[in-house]
Structure formats: C-alpha cells, structure tokens
Amino acid sequence: MSDASTPKVVIVGAGPAGIRAAATLVEAGLHPMVIDEGHRAGGQIYRRPPAGFVRTPEQLYGSEAGKAGALHALFDRLAEEGRLTHRAGSSVIAMRDGQLHVLGEGGLELVSYDSVILATGASDRVAPIPGWQNAGVYSLGAAQIALKAQGVALGRRIVLAGSGPLLTLVGAQLLKAGADVAAVLDTSSWRQQIRGFSGLAARPLVALRGLTLRAKLGRRYHAGVTLERIEADGQGVAALRWRDAGGRQQHTPCDMIGMGWHLRAETHLADLVGCTFIYDEQWQQWLPKADEMGRAGNGVYLAGDGVRLLGADGAEIAGRLAAAACLSDLGYRAPPASADLRKLERLDLFARGLARAFPWPAAMVRALPGDAVVCRCENVTVAAVHEGADFGSSEANRVKSLSRVGMGRCQGRYCQLAAVELVAARAGCSPDAVGRFRGQAPVRPAPVGAFLREY
C-alpha cells in the first residue's frame, strides 16, 4: 500500500477509461483505488461474463476482441500484483468534501481522496414509445449485456428500434448468436445518415465495419421509420406498430423490443461534486465541462463517455490523458499527451458525424400522445408533464416537482431528455432553455440501514 505521503487517487469506473487511467497512475508509482459496480473489470462494452463461462473473446467482442482482452489482462495483472486496490461490486452513491460515499457488500464506507477520476461511462439514450413500460421492452445495451454476460436473448422474437451504431451492432450480434430478429428499425432516414458522412470518413475502417454489419441485417433493416405504439398482453410485449419511410402502416409481432438512440452520458457524480454543465447542441444533452485533458477543477478529472461520447477507443485515450493531467497537477512526471490529443480530435470528428447521422428523435417525442408514459419508474404521462409545464414554468426542476417526472428510482436517467423536450415544445423554447434536473444523492437507491451506525 501507499504511505501517507503519496497522494490518494481514486478512480470511479473500471471500463476502458478507468482501466487506462489506473495503469497510467501505476506506471508513475501511485497506488490508485478503482471503485466499480461490476463484479469484474471491463465496463459495459467490454463486459465480461462470470467466471466459468467458455465463449472466446472473439465470440464475445468480435473485431474488438484484441482491445478487450488487452484491457482485461492489464487490469487483472495490476490487481494481482497489488499495484492498485479494486473495489468491485461497489457503488459511489455520493461525493462531498473530498470524500466518496461507497456502498458495497459490507455497507457504507467513506473514502477520502486527493484527486478523483470519474470514468462513469454512459447508458442508452432512450425516447419513450407509447407502451414502453411493458415487460419485454429493454434498452439496446441490455440486449447486448444479456448476450455477452449471460449468453441469452431476452425474447423469442426480437425487434430493435432507435438509431445509432449500437442498433446495427446489437442486431448483427444477436443474429450471429442465433436469435430470431424480426426487424431492425432506424428512425434516421438514409438522407439524414448521409449528412453525417463527412465526419464518419474520419475513421473509414470503422465506418466500413458498420456498413458490413448493416448488410448482415438484410431486409430486416428499415431506415426512416416512425415508431407508433407497443402492443402488450398480460405477459408483456406482443407487437410493435410502426410506419415505414413511405408512410405505410406496419405491424410486427414480437415478444421483446430493444430500444435506444445512441448514448446518454452518466453525469450524476460530476453534478454532485459541482462540475459546470454545458448544453451540447450536437449531442442534444447536458455534459460536464472539462478541459481537453479532462480537468474539471478541485482535484476532479473526467474521462470517457461520461464527459465526451467518443466510445471505447476514445475512452481509453481519455483515461490516459486524465491520469496524465492528474499526475502533472500533483507534481509527478506525466507521460506526453500530444499524440493522444491528436487522436482524440479525429475520434471527435467521427463521433460528431455519428451524432448528425443518428440524431435524437425530437419530432417523435414532441408528437407523443397524452397517455404515453414518459417516466417508466412511476408511469408519469406526457399529459402530466404538459400540466406541470402549464401550471409552473418551463424550468426543468419546477416541472419535476409538479409532475414527479424524474423523481423515480432511476432519478431521471431514462426520462429527463424526453421530459425536457416535451416542456420545450409546450413552452416554445429550446431544450437547453428548460435546463436539467439537479442530481441528488444517493445516486443509487441505498437501504436506510446502510446509513445507520451502531454506537
């Protein structure tokens, strides 16, 4: 272990960004603590199945097997050699005054830090489809996690809907694994997708790989669709009603729907620790502010999809850069950053191409019927959000107080963007003028017993 004179650096998240940050700190002679909700390091995109599963990295991660394997091996080696402390299966539920509140199997523990690197990643950005509260509707990420970490499909007959690289990828992965994928429905039109082309050309091989996967979907793939309603019976999803690009009504029976529109940065901890947030027009969401290295001030560093949605390759680079910034601020020799910064610029160009090609479905959200559920936690409807906007003001937190949208157990992670879109439409302003929900601790549900101490 490190002695009292070496600075204490804590990394939250053991995905590509967290692992690279940890390795960079270890190389400089520090002993970081890595806190992660997963039982094994890897994050979501390089998520590992439990011990004893037998599929090869090539089967699990396809073209990215080499990268995933290298990250897993690196982290395992550093942990085995005792050069870092790995807190697996633990959630940081609050941050305040240089301390992290960590909820693990043993209960709640306070961990102090001199510097902290937040590598909290992202989850699916979802927009409501009427009926999405029913059993059998999952995020695209969930469909991928079920396949990778459990070897299962979440239904017998699957429809994937939304837009973004994950839509195509999950569809191709499920098909390859032998699942019955009935349709892959993209709300982005071909014309819209071509608009992102100049950016996508920044990484021609990745773009080509995407098109190859798309080709594997064959006639299952439809661009420019409108998603209308999920039908359900007593057991859950029964069918999806949608319109094709030509406006024709379509009805696809299915028992599982995976949905998502690219990614939403996970920013609750950055919010609690006081980061400044800026509305990003391109990504159509609020993102915490950091310099190009990931510095957010006061010993806080941000890396990976939780601050810039560049995907796994970008997260590895951002993790290294944030650790380098942290080292240099602590007076240590930091590895050179210029080559990494150039790589990030190219990845950023590509990511912005993706954002243009596969946009947030603002018009679809604005056209939702009054009885559609916006908040899946508490079944708060579009009509209730409208009522809140009419009664109160067009400020996000006022509408939250009045309608309870964003107050459920997910704390707005899956409804905030849609709710803000609806309020903006009602008030005739832009989503950024509506603001964002304030983050509240604990950022994960925690049992009351965890906060009680015996004296």
Contacting positions for another protein (CB under 8 A): 37, 39, 44, 49-55, 59, 89, 91, 123-124, 133-139, 141-142, 145-147, 149-156, 177-179, 232, 234-236, 255-256, 266, 373, 376-379, 408-410, 413-414, 444-445, 447
Q: Answer whether 242's CB lies under 8 Å from 250's CB.
A: yes
Q: How far is the CB of 362 from another protein (least distance, A)?
A: 22
Tell me 385's DSSP state: H
User: Among residues 139 and 163, whose Cβ is nearest to another protein?
Assistant: 139
203 vs 413 by CB, closer to another protein = 413
Task: Report, in Å, the least distance between residue 103 CB and another protein.
Answer: 12
- CB closer to another protein out of 195 and 444: 444
Least Å distance between CB 275 and another protein?
19
Query: Minimum distance from CB of 328 to another protein (Å)?
Result: 33
Nearer to another protein, 14 or 425 (CB): 14
Closer by beta carbon to another protein, 151 or else 335: 151
Q: CB-based burial of residue 370 (10 Å sphere; 0-12 exposed, 13-18 middle, 19+ buried)? A: exposed
3-state secondary structure 238-252: EEEEEECCCCCEEEE
Comparing CB distances to another protein, the nearer of 228 and 378 is 378
Do residues 14 and 121 lie in contact, with contact meaning Cβ atoms separated by under 8 Å?
A: no
Phi-psi region of 236 (alpha: psi -120 to 50; beta: other; left: phi over 0): left
Q: What is the closest distance, in whole angstroms, from the C-beta atom of residue 1 to another protein in the complex?
A: 28
User: CB of residue 443 vs another protein: minimum separation in angstroms?
Assistant: 10
- Distance CA(314)–CA(105), nearest Å, equals 32
Return the DSSP state at 448.
Answer: G
Task: State the nearest-atom distance from the C-beta of 177 to another protein, in Å.
Answer: 5
d(CA 11, CA 119): 7
Cβ-proximal residues to 78 (8 Å cutoff; 6+ apart), any chain: 22, 23, 26, 84
Instruction: Identify any residues that bridge with 141 across adjacent strands, giving them in sequence order.
Output: none
Question: What does residue 413 show for φ and ψ, rounded to 5 degrees?
Answer: -60, -35
Q: Of the candidates 155, 149, 152, which has an alpha carbon nearest to the alpha carbon of residue 134?
A: 155
**Within a 10 A sphere around the Cβ of 329, how many other Cβ atoms?**
16
Which residue number, 323 or 365, has a Cβ lying nearer to another protein?
A: 365
